[in-house]
Amino acid sequence: MAGIYVHIPFCKSKCRYCDFTSFPDKIGFAESYMTCVYREMKMRGAELKDKKFDTLYIGGGTPSVIDESYIAMLIAAAKKYFVLSADAEITIEMNPGTVSRKKIETYLKNGVNRFSVGLQTAIDSQLEDLGRYHTLNQFVTCAGMLRGENFNVDVMIGLKGQTLDDISKTIDVASSFGASHISMYALTPEDGTPIYSDYLNGELPDGDEVAEMYSFGVKKLKELGFERYEVSNFAKSGRQSRHNLNYWRRGEYIGIGVSASSFINGVRFTNTFNLDEYFKCILTNRFPVIDSAEIDLQGAKEETIMLSLRTCEGLDIDKFNGQFNADFLSDYSAPLKKNESFLEIISGRLRVKDEYLFVQNTIICDFFS
């Protein structure tokens, strides 16, 4: 299985915590950009004829900010230039402040079968503080239009002034409007973003408080029937994101658009983050790749451990041994011993115990050489 990711780098405005490649002031370039995206898809499709793709993820940025006709053409291009399975999962990210019934109808008509809506918090003052371009009411309207559809809602914890009640309300709102999937992420105050000064000023919850929020959220989501399958991802039965599962299972994917990354034939590569450079490359029939690295055997092992221990399914030990001609329990006896109280092996799979999944990063580090 393999996935296609397409990056749409436009937004209405820049959120205060945003570290993604998004250009709120360049939305006028949408038409030129999408023309280049279709062209890059054609170029990539020609060299990946032997690969079958099972998912298409349209992310950003805010894909719902551009005219819906561009999305329709993007999906048509994916079907034309790639071998995309008939039952492919096709996801689009949406900001509740940029949707309309017409857009959603167009997405559905063209094959979108999964939506991902950025709510973050149901508290308007917190949305404002984050610089989000929408209100709770706009989310409610958007979710109403998605009733009966398969959709994810993004929820953020670790916000300034956020209480457990606020998290409870946010999850309740997402669930009651029919979300089939919830991604619950901790805010990461990246250096260089406006919110970083809040962090430096000690205005954000500390690590222990965020851990408490996370545990609270996990419990709440479980009560509402959302099963955790990855540290930040929770789904109703059968509604896990196939696209993201492919990342965590170290499957292949091709990234299209500015800043998109790829993993194909054992090589990881990333497109330029610069919009002008992207245009120049595509218009001269060159791939806009700025960084590329072949993953060696050791790297492949470490990636497999790192990615699988993020998930609740964990690491399949026999599969690992077969794939790498290894003896996992012996080769990694030291980190296994050191972390034995945090780990468990069930039916041949090594996994981080439920109560420690939130801090899996520190455990995983011990497996790296």
Could you say which of 11, 94, 117, 157 contacts ligand SF4 (CB under 6 A)?
Answer: 11
Instruction: With contacts defined by CB under 6 A, name the span among 15-23, 46-54, 138-146, 305-313 that binds ligand SF4.
Output: 15-23
Which of 200, 161, 195 has its CA nearest to residue 19?
Answer: 195
Pairwise CA distance, residues 190 & 346, whole Å: 37
Query: Using the rule CB under 6 A, is 117 a contact of ligand SF4?
Result: no
Cis peptide upstream of residue 61 (ω within 30 degrees of 0):
yes
Instruction: With contacts defined by CB under 6 A, name the span among 10-18, 78-86, 197-205, 331-339 that binds ligand SF4.
Output: 10-18
Query: Using the rule CB under 6 A, is 18 a contact of ligand SF4?
Result: yes
Are 64 and 29 contacting, i.e. CB atoms less than 8 angstroms apart?
A: no
The per-residue DSSP string of 237-293 comes to TT---HHHHHHHTT-EEEEESTT-EEEETTEEEEE-S-HHHHHHHHHTT---EEEEE
Nearer to ligand SF4, 14 or 42 (CB): 14
| Closest approach of ligand SF4 to the CB of residue 249, in Å | 26
**Residues with Cβ within 8 Å of residue 163, at least 6 apart in sequence:** none
Nearer to ligand SF4, 62 or 138 (CB): 62
Q: Binding-site residue total for ligand SF4 (CB under 6 A)?
A: 10
Which of 94, 197, 238, 214 has its CA nearest to residue 162?
Answer: 214
Stretch 251-290 residues interacting with ligand SF4 (CB under 6 A): none
Interface mask toward ligand SF4 for 60-99; x: CB under 6 A = xxx--------------------------------x----
Are 221 and 182 contacting, i.e. CB atoms less than 8 angstroms apart?
A: yes
Nearer to ligand SF4, 190 or 355 (CB): 190
Nearer to ligand SF4, 60 or 255 (CB): 60
Site of tokens 């008509």: 109
| Closest approach of ligand SF4 to the CB of residue 108, in Å | 22
| Closest approach of ligand SF4 to the CB of residue 6, in Å | 14
User: For the chain, what is the radius of gyration of the CA atoms?
Assistant: 21
Site of interaction with ligand SF4 (CB under 6 A): 11, 14-15, 18, 20, 22, 60-62, 95
